Each structure stands twice: as structure tokens, then as C-alpha cells.
Amino acid sequence: MSSDVAPGQRRIVMLVDNSVNGDSRVQKEARSAAEAGWDVTLLGKSPDNKEHTWTLGPAKVRLLRTPFLLGKRPHEFRRRWLMAPLAYPQTGVAENRVQQVKAWKADLSMSRLAEPDGTRRPSVEAQWHAARALGRWVAIRQRQTRKAARARKKLDTPSDKFYAWFWSTVQGEGAWRKLEPQLWDWELAYGPVIDELAPDLIHANDFRMLGVGARAKMRAKADGRDIKLVWDAHEFLPGVRPWTDNLRWRAAHILHEKEYVPYADAAITVSDDLAGMLQETHGLKERPRVVLNTPAVEHAPHELIEGVDVDAPAADLRAMCEVGPDVPLLVYSGAAAPQRGLAIMIEALPQQPGVHVALVTNNQTGGFMTGLRKRAGELGVLDRVHFLPYVPHWQVVPMLSGADVGVIPIHHWPNHEIALITKFFEYSHARLPLVVSDVRTMSATVRATGQGEVFKAEDLDDYLRAVQAVLDDPDRYRAAYDKPGLLDGWTWEAQANVLNSVYRELLDQA
């Protein structure tokens, strides 16, 4: 163990498969644990292939170079002679050939213009026609190259299905090594650093990091050291929409999770329903402890955080949208994806004169958000839609408080049904009236507390009804937050106490 750890201080290494900024849960966990006296290092993935370091309060953050070299399947390096005999090899040569022909034609175009008497040299004309013919030939081959790539993108051909069946039958839980070999890229990047840090406890966030933490635990045991492993399950993996559009993704990750769950000394998760599902699915002896992802408004920065101006004034939502205090303003804050239901907020605007929508999301330039922007333009409401970036997690609640309504229009997916998600707590601490879809847990809570209206997911008319009801009488819904004790259990301080009790129980046993 390195010398910067105080005598008797126990070291915790947290693992996450993202670049930390934008993941409020892991930021809050790392900082709270460090403030409780643990020596905490949070390891994440570098967004630009360079290592980065900074601090979150007393916690140290390191973003590691994580090159993904194992994601390509063997067939992606081969020609598909039967399906696309004219296709180029999958090496990038197709794009190179297209550019070569374009460059040749550009050069010939200038040569055709260069004759002062306006005549064209026969040699140049012959080359021009040759370049055009070559361009058509290259285009044909490029189309076949794309066809070959698309044909197996989803890995759903008979040969792909047989491959998945064969290795699942032969290797069982270990078949993820064949079905999703890219999981090894995480191990190769994180594993040596974990060993170097020699932690007493590893906190593995979600399913990818579970295997990384478990293997580090096994290596330490072989060296005579005991590392405790905490698995922080953010989602129910069988109910996750695949992050990659192929048939192997979910099956491979389920097998990977199943193999390494037995190595976890304790599990925590984000909701009581999910805790029960995890216990039943994996046969856990103890029910996972629940650590809700509630806001930590007290976590204002006091040390440098990379990429964040800690001296910047607090975010003002209405100033960001350039709207006055009397403009009806709806806000959505969180990840952007089709299943999050943001499209309904755009579709509704033509029937909501004067209403503005603020979308505070993690990706303003991706295909989904670009599509929303285009749709808003087609409907003539683009001037009333404000596309805003994330702000530091300690600024989220004050920023959201500038809105009139907090909207959560998520669709019916298994993981959406079972939890009070992050933005629910953020909206609540901002004392916003809510409009939420009828996913199970969240709609039941809103109906019980009276803090908002529920609408049928993906039903535009019912969404319009719910929003108008809130805008007509916002004070009625805000009054729900005056009920004694409603927000007390939804504080990060209460969640941090649960987390630290798990650490203490495990390390007191060591």
C-alpha cells in the first residue's frame, strides 16, 4: 500500500465504466466516503485516451486510458465472398479509395479549365472519363462493403445464433468471453491499477465493473490479502435495453454478472424493488441494502475539479433559457434516449402556446437529440425548446428550481418500473410540481404524496391534460412538500450513512 495512506486508514477503490463527470451517484459516493475517513480513489474511463486526475473533496479521481481493441468480431476483418464478392476488405480501404478518386477528379477538373484557348486536351478528357468510370466502380464496391457490414451488425444470422448457442452450451457462464470479449478491455485497463493501489475494499459500480473487482479480489487472495467487494447494482440487467444493437449483448452481460456475483461480499442498489429482484435472481443470502440516488446539495466544490469552473455562479435555468419569470417553463433533466420519452414534450408544444421546454441532457449532438431538434423545427416550436448541458451535480437542484414543472415522461421498461430515479429526487428537492408517466413505483409515489400528476406513457392527449392541470394550480402540488418528513429520507446524508455502515461492517470483519 502506498505511503500516502494514514496509519490505520483503510483504502477503498471505486470503479465505474464512465468518465465520472455527469455520474452524480459515483461522485457523491466517493466524496462522502472520503469525508467519512476512508482513503478513496475513484477509477473511471478517460474520454480522450489520456489519463486525468482531480479531486472530489478528499477523494481522488483517476480516469484511465481504456483502449477498446477487442470489440471487433473476427468476421469484421474478413471479406464476405458469397454475399458481397466485390466488397473491399474491412480495413478502411473503401473510404481511402473514394477519396483518391475524388482527388483525381478534382485535379482533372482544374486541368480541363487550364487551357487558355478553351480547348480540352484529348489526354485530359480520356483521363476524365476514366476517373468517372473508376468512381462508379469504387461506388459499387463501397456499397457492397457497407452491405457486408450491415448484414451481421445485429449478429442475428443463423450462423451467429448457432455460435451463441454453441458457446453458451459448452462454456455456460464463461461464454461471455466469446460473446462479448470487449469486457476484457476494462480488465486490462483497470486491473493493474487496482493491484497497484492494494485496496482493502473495492466498490464496483454496475455490471461491467463487477468482474473487474472480482478478479482483483481473487488475485489479492492468491497473494495472501483479503479484499472486500461491494457490488453496486444500478439496474436489473435482464431489463436493460441493450447498449449495443446486437443479440449477444444482453445474454453475454447476464452471464458475466452471474459468474462474478458470488464474489461480492455485499450488494447495494437503488431501490427496494430492485433489491428483491436481485436477491431472487442471484440467490443472495442477504437482501441488498438500498442507497437512493438523492441530491447532495451540500457538495459544493472546494478543490479543483477537471473541466468544471468551481468559481462559476450558480446555474440559473431561466437565464440559460433567456426567458422571464412569467413564462411557463417545463424541464427535463437526465439522460437522452428514445425510451426516456422526451419526444412527447416536443410533440405537445404546438398545443401549448407560450410554454417553453428545457432539456438538460448529457448529449446535445447525438442522433436522438439532433432528431428532436429537427422535429421541433418542423413543428415551428424550435424557439421554445432550449437544449442545455449538464451542470455539476451540486448545482442541479438550485438550477431546476427555476422551472414551473419537472417532467419525467419515461416509457414502460422493466427498470423504469421499479425505482424512484435520480431526477425524481432532484425535482422533489427543487420543490417542483411533477408530471410523470404511469411507470409503477414513481406513479404510485406521486399519487400518494400529491406532488404532481400522472399520465399514460406515450399518450399525447393525457400528457397535455396532466401538464395543464399542474400549470393551472401549481401551488396545490408544491404544498405537498410542506408535509413534515416528506423530504427527510430523500437526502444524500441519509444514503451516505447506509453506504458507510456497509463499509464498516465488512472491514470490521477483516
Q: Which residues contact 122 (CB under 8 A, 6 or more apart)?
A: none
- Across the range 313-321, mean pLDDT stands at 87
- Quick one: DSSP state of residue 4? T
CA distance 304 to 257: 35
Of the pLDDT bands very low, low, confident and very high (cuts 50, 70, 90), residue 302 is: very low
List, as one string, the DSSP characters of 17-69: SS-STT-HHHHHHHHHHHHTT-EEEEEEE-SSSS-EEEEETTEEEEEEP----
pTM score, whole prediction = 0.79
Structure-block grid coordinates of residue 510: 477483516
288: enclosing H helix or E strand: none
pLDDT, tens digit, 9 for 90 and up, residues 19-49: 998 888 999 999 999 999 999 999 999 999 8
pLDDT, tens digit, 9 for 90 and up, residues 43-78: 999 999 899 999 998 999 999 999 988 766 665 656
| pLDDT given at position 2 | 42
Q: Which residues contact 278 (CB under 8 A, 6 or more apart)?
A: 233, 236, 267, 269, 284, 288
The three state secondary structure string of 323-343 is CCCCCCEEEEEECCCHHHCCH
Q: What angle do CA 187, 191, 196 make, to 5 degrees?
A: 170
pLDDT, tens digit, 9 for 90 and up, residues 138-185: 888 888 877 777 666 677 778 878 888 999 999 999 999 999 999 999
The CA-atom distances, in angstroms, between 479 and each of 196, 234, 389, 446 are 53, 31, 30, 13
The position carrying cell 406532488 is: 451
The answer to whether residue 211 scores a pLDDT higher than 80 is yes
CA distance 373 to 357: 12
pLDDT, tens digit, 9 for 90 and up, residues 79-131: 666 667 787 777 778 888 888 888 888 888 777 776 666 566 778 888 888 98
The position carrying cell 412527447 is: 344
Lowest mean pLDDT segment, chosen from 87-96, 243-252, 322-331, 356-365: 87-96
| pLDDT given at position 80 | 67
Q: Which residues pair with 405 in a beta bridge?
A: 330
Residue 404: which of 501, 489, 472 has the closest Cα?
472
The CA-atom distances, in angstroms, between 244 and each of 155, 177, 334 are 11, 17, 20
| pLDDT given at position 88 | 75
pLDDT > 90: what percent of the chain?
61
The answer to whether residue 220 scores a pLDDT higher than 90 is yes
